[in-house]
Chains A and B, each alone.
Chain A
Amino acid sequence: MPALYILIPIALILVAIAIWVFFWAVDSGQYDDLDGPAHSILFDDEDPMHKAGVDEAQTPASKDQSDA
């Protein structure tokens, strides 16, 4: 299992990065409000910008179907 000699250090580095990112997220306040963001996506559905994006994504798709 010589692969482990490389994989273990890689795992350690990845964990270190994950912890660093997590600490940064907590310190920048991303975990301060755990209730609000859960609801905010509901409102995005009616956002005009979001709707325009959805329409744009759907138009070529429907064209493809009609072509087929």
Chain B
Amino acid sequence: MCCPGCQAVAEAIVAGGLEHYYKHRSESASNPQDLPQALPDELQLFDRAEVQEPFVQHQGETSETWLLIEGINCAACGWLIEKHLRALPGVNDARLNLSNHRLNVSWIDSQVALSQLLTELRKIGYAGHPWQADEAAQKLATENRRAMRQLGLAGLLWFQVMMATMATWPEFNIDLSPELHMILRWVSLFLTTPIIFYCCGQFFRGALRDLRTRHLTMDLSVSLAIGGAYVAGIWSAITGTGELYFDAVGMFAFFLLAGRYLERRARERTAAATAQLVNLLPASCLRLNEQGQTQRILLSELRLGEQVLVQPGALMPADGCILSGQSSVDESVLTGEYLPQPRVEGDQVTAGTLNVEGPLVVEVQALGDATRLSAIVRLLERAQTDKPRLAELADQVSQWFLLFLLLAATVVGVIWWQIDPSRAFWVVLALLVATCPCALALATPTALTAATGTLHSLGVLLTRGHVLEGLNQIDTVIFDKTGTLTEGKLTLSAIHPLGALDSDACLALAAALENRSEHPIAKAFGRATQAADQVDSFPGQGLHGTIEGRQLRIGQAAFVCALSGKLAPAIPGESGQWLLLGDQQGPLAWFVLDDRLRADALELITSCKARGWHVLLLSGDSSPVVAQIARQLGIEDARGGLTPDDKLAALKVLHQQGRRVLMLGDGVNDVPVLAGADISVAMGSATDLAKTSADAVLLSNRLGSLVDAFKLARRTRRIIIENLIWAALYNSLVLPFAALGLITPLWAAVGMSISSLLVVLNALRLARH
């Protein structure tokens, strides 16, 4: 157990008899302390009728709602949540969708309250948020279902059509009577019609759109083949002469829809789950009334000019001015400054930043859209519209292919018209069907799907489709510092003993004191072996406590030395946060806390440079640490003290130079650049806003995974090219035979299946690593 949070979770799980969770989980759980802190009284707010109204459905005694669950890592989590909730009295049902992390729960109002369910979830280490289907999510769900229906219908009908059509082929030599021949033609026509009108609509619409924009794409050639084969089939059913290509129609529809469905699923897997969680602001806050009493209210109830009490460890609910209290505020998500900034009466605070030390009374000056945070979000929207599009390989290839194909079809048609006008149509049709770029259309989606799955298991989640192909066109990389190249939290980097005690003894004493504190700095000291008594916290100064009868202080030098009455020693170093430990005799040791470089940062930078990429470090931090880290990692171009606007301007300059930019970042201040870069990657520990505006998320937080992703992107490109070459080769090989009129429906079907299968198998090689 690493912390009391994990221990509490484990105890709750074992007490519920749910220890099988540990047997089957495939990923270790996230640390419960990383989840957003919610106070019991904040959860109580969810029991109020007007709060529940938008997202809870009542039906007599029972209520039902959807919750979005944070902290799910693998299938075992889903089982744990369902079992734990179902075991509660009053809960009718709990069902978790592992793909999008949504929990559907229904309960009886009189026996259990929603806040109790949320508390129980939290006890086993998950955070539940009320979830409402917005328009986009609803549209996505309907589209997913429609895609599934189209795929299933195409598959089911294709098998039947194939049987009916194949029976009419002379190669199988079934002695059909003319009436049965006729009946089978009509049956296949009857079965193919739903495929055309229900499943293939998207191809025809795509082709129409492309014709209007005078742009040749795969949709056009697919539509030509499918439409041609269908119309010819009607003709042949009516007249009883000519070839039947209905099975080819079914095969195209099924293969192409399957390719698109796979691609859609790979892309939307967890993107939908992260997209919902843009909660940079707290859900509720403590309002002070005239008598100085606090009342917990929803953020939407807060008005300008009101006073709020912000407890240490809570987020600022609005922009405002400090009326009383002193504390330090962690603004790293907004500015990239890695140390909490001291704030006293009269100072301005910004919504979304974290109050670290003491309680603050803040007068609300800006809310909602007027806050600085919202200004950054608007910057993000502007950057998104300027985002350049990376050209896709398959698009370029298919244009040339299609042009060539249409030319060939015209020439062949004209020549056959001269030789034998009655056969001209059938030869051109056979040519169109046999060369239909089925394999060409599958080449890219299958490769991308396989590679996306592999990346997911490496801890890189792709949320947009162009990343894998685009990675090969990148020539510049921008890194953020705090939280990206560094870990973004304070860790103990050095101990300088001053008196009789050595470093280990001093650390033990400091840890004993700090373990009694909620301050984020306290975590850096690790677990204590000794226990401290009567520990008092002095905001902005430090801690005072007793260990084995010995009075000790840790914190600011002046505060610590006041205990012994000696003169405070000067801070000997430059960067980082310096804390002094002392007792009644005098100072004992200096502790240096600093933000540490990630272990694999150097590997990533080296690998980027080995690819000949231009590497930049853009940070909002104005301290000398930026230059120091750049030196350590060998980055020549490092700039500090940048605002989000400055970062975006830097990106624009790079774009004007014609560079293709990859951005890796995590904070809200990186968000506009993430949105505007050709490819953007957000850290898994990043703010939700950063994750949703990025094209990929580094779930594992291991920079080394990114190096693997670069390698995989290269391999993916190679496989796509191989696939395209194979598809083009097959199509050009079959072309002469089709032109000579030697291709019958049987050979068209055999050729297409083999080439499609080959492409898919080749793409599956990417699933191995």
Residues of B within 8 A of A1 (CB): 176-177, 180
Checking B75, B145, B153 against A39 with a beta-carbon cut-off of 8 angstroms, the contacting residue is B75
When chains A and B are docked, how far (Å) is the Cα of A35 from the Cα of B99? 6
When chains A and B are docked, how far (Å) is the Cα of A37 from the Cα of B190? 36
When chains A and B are docked, how far (Å) is the Cα of A15 from the Cα of B20? 42
When chains A and B are docked, how far (Å) is the Cα of A26 from the Cα of B176? 39
Residues of A within 8 A of B79 (CB): 39-40, 43
Q: Is the CB of B78 within 8 A of A36?
A: yes
Q: Is the CB of B160 within 8 A of A15?
A: yes
Q: Is the CB of B148 within 8 A of A26?
A: yes
- A11 in contact (CB, < 8 A): yes
Q: Is the CB of A34 within 8 A of B145?
A: no
User: 1/0 contact trace for A21-40 toward B, CB 8 Å?
Assistant: 01100110001111110111
When chains A and B are docked, how far (Å) is the Cα of A40 from the Cα of B83? 11
User: 1/0 contact trace for B126-169 toward A, CB 8 Å?
Assistant: 00000000000000010011001100110011001000100000
When chains A and B are docked, how far (Å) is the Cα of A15 from the Cα of B188? 13
- B98 in contact (CB, < 8 A): yes
When chains A and B are docked, how far (Å) is the Cα of A59 from the Cα of B76? 31
- A4 in contact (CB, < 8 A): yes
Interface members, chain B 16-75 (any A CB < 8 Å): 20, 23-24, 74-75
B326 nearest CB across to chain A (Å): 50
- A8 in contact (CB, < 8 A): yes
Q: Is the CB of A36 within 8 A of B98?
A: yes
User: 1/0 contact trace for B93-116 toward A, CB 8 Å?
Assistant: 000111110000000000000000
- A49 in contact (CB, < 8 A): no
- A68 in contact (CB, < 8 A): no
State the majority secondary structure of interface residues on B. Answer: helix
Q: Is the CB of B160 within 8 A of A26?
A: no
| With A12-B187, A26-B148, A43-B20: A32-B157 Cβ-Cβ less than 8 Å | no
Residues of B within 8 A of A6 (CB): none
- B183 in contact (CB, < 8 A): yes
- B205 in contact (CB, < 8 A): no
B101 nearest CB across to chain A (Å): 10
| With A15-B156, A19-B156: A27-B75 Cβ-Cβ less than 8 Å | no
When chains A and B are docked, how far (Å) is the Cα of A67 from the Cα of B187? 59
When chains A and B are docked, how far (Å) is the Cα of A32 from the Cα of B23? 26
Residues of A within 8 A of B24 (CB): 39, 42-43
When chains A and B are docked, how far (Å) is the Cα of A31 from the Cα of B149? 10
B140 nearest CB across to chain A (Å): 11
State the majority secondary structure of interface residues on A. Answer: helix
Q: Is the CB of A31 within 8 A of B187?
A: no
Q: Is the CB of A26 within 8 A of B152?
A: yes
Residues of A within 8 A of B190 (CB): 12
A51 nearest CB across to chain B (Å): 12
Checking B96, B145, B164 against A27 with a beta-carbon cut-off of 8 angstroms, the contacting residue is B145
| With A15-B191, A18-B156: A32-B97 Cβ-Cβ less than 8 Å | yes
When chains A and B are docked, how far (Å) is the Cα of A34 from the Cα of B148? 12
User: How big is chain B's contact interface, by range?
Assistant: 20 to 34
A10 nearest CB across to chain B (Å): 12
- A64 in contact (CB, < 8 A): no
Q: Is the CB of A33 within 8 A of B98?
A: yes
- A55 in contact (CB, < 8 A): no
Q: Among the interface residues B78, B96, B184, which one has the most CB atoms of the partner chain A within 10 A?
A: B78
- B265 in contact (CB, < 8 A): yes
When chains A and B are docked, how far (Å) is the Cα of A15 from the Cα of B152? 12
Q: Is the CB of A11 within 8 A of B160?
A: yes
- A46 in contact (CB, < 8 A): yes
A54 nearest CB across to chain B (Å): 16
Residues of A within 8 A of B97 (CB): 32-33, 36
A26 nearest CB across to chain B (Å): 5
B72 nearest CB across to chain A (Å): 10
Residues of B within 8 A of A33 (CB): 97-100
When chains A and B are docked, how far (Å) is the Cα of A43 from the Cα of B97? 16
When chains A and B are docked, how far (Å) is the Cα of A33 from the Cα of B153? 19
Q: Is the CB of B145 within 8 A of A31?
A: yes
When chains A and B are docked, how far (Å) is the Cα of A34 from the Cα of B99? 7
Residues of B within 8 A of A31 (CB): 145, 148
Q: Is the CB of B149 within 8 A of A36?
A: no
When chains A and B are docked, how far (Å) is the Cα of A31 from the Cα of B97? 11
When chains A and B are docked, how far (Å) is the Cα of A8 from the Cα of B144? 33
When chains A and B are docked, how far (Å) is the Cα of A42 from the Cα of B80? 13
A25 nearest CB across to chain B (Å): 9
B74 nearest CB across to chain A (Å): 8
When chains A and B are docked, how far (Å) is the Cα of A18 from the Cα of B152? 10
Q: Is the CB of B96 within 8 A of A23?
A: no
When chains A and B are docked, how far (Å) is the Cα of A9 from the Cα of B100? 42
When chains A and B are docked, how far (Å) is the Cα of A11 from the Cα of B183? 14
A22 nearest CB across to chain B (Å): 5
When chains A and B are docked, how far (Å) is the Cα of A8 from the Cα of B191? 12
Residues of A within 8 A of B183 (CB): 4, 8
- Can you name the residue of chain A whose Cβ is closest to the Cβ of B149? A26
When chains A and B are docked, how far (Å) is the Cα of A61 from the Cα of B265? 46
A35 nearest CB across to chain B (Å): 5
Q: Is the CB of A39 within 8 A of B78?
A: yes
Residues of A within 8 A of B145 (CB): 26-27, 31-32
A15 nearest CB across to chain B (Å): 5
When chains A and B are docked, how far (Å) is the Cα of A4 from the Cα of B210? 44
Q: Is the CB of B152 within 8 A of A22?
A: yes
Checking B74, B96, B187 against A8 with a beta-carbon cut-off of 8 angstroms, the contacting residue is B187
Q: List 15 A-B contacts (CB under 8 A).
A: A1-B180, A19-B156, A23-B152, A26-B145, A27-B145, A31-B145, A34-B99, A36-B96, A36-B97, A36-B98, A36-B99, A38-B75, A39-B78, A40-B78, A46-B20
Q: Give me the 7 closest cross-chain CB pairs, A-B, nearest first.
A: A39-B75, A36-B98, A33-B97, A35-B98, A43-B79, A22-B152, A46-B20
Known: A4-B183, A15-B157, A23-B152. 8 other contacts (CB 8 A): A15-B156, A19-B152, A22-B152, A23-B153, A32-B97, A32-B145, A39-B24, A40-B78
